[in-house]
Amino acid sequence: MYINLSDLKEIGGRKQVSLELEFHDLEFVNREIEIEKPIELELEIFNTTDSFVIEGKLKAELILSCSRCLQKYSSPIELNISEDVLKSEMEDEEELYLDEIVVDNIILSLPMKPLCSDSCKGICPECGQNLNEAECDCEIEILDPRLAKLKDFYNEDE
């Protein structure tokens, strides 16, 4: 999406923009990020000698996959945006391309390990049962891999 800056030619000028963006789903490091509702932007754009300074807020509703149970969940975000777009790097000084700014800010706000809740139990490594929905009958022996060799140390046959 482009914002028209033709009315912002004067150095020190300021423009306020409120808009909603219909945005496509994103993919980042093999993680699919769905955007459920239009992204709301409240921006203030300042014209400086060398750049356009963009400040404002971004609100969005993301659909992420939980790292433990693999279920999709809704994650609302509200971000403060502060960007400095150099005029020398713009194709046209009368139009500001917003898509890269929006995508970069959303990706930077993503958690390293998204969780549907702090108390998520995940899935059973044996049968694949979602432990948030029901318990399973698997007996899982939790053995520290650093101590695995000691398990056979006292072998009864010897």
Residue 72 above 80 pLDDT? yes
Please give the C-alpha separations between residue 25 and each of 20, 34, 87, 137, in angstroms, as whole numbers: 15, 5, 29, 38
pTM of the predicted model, to two decimals? 0.75
Measured CA to CA, the distance from residue 61 to residue 56 in angstroms comes to 17
User: For 37, which DSSP code?
Assistant: S
Strand, coil or helix: 103: helix
Measured CA to CA, the distance from residue 153 to residue 137 in angstroms comes to 29
C-beta of residue 21 within 8 angstroms of C-beta of residue 1: yes
Q: What is the pLDDT of residues 116-157, one digit of tens each?
A: 999 999 998 888 888 888 888 887 777 777 877 777 777 665
User: For 100, which DSSP code?
Assistant: H
Residue with tokens 């898509």: 99
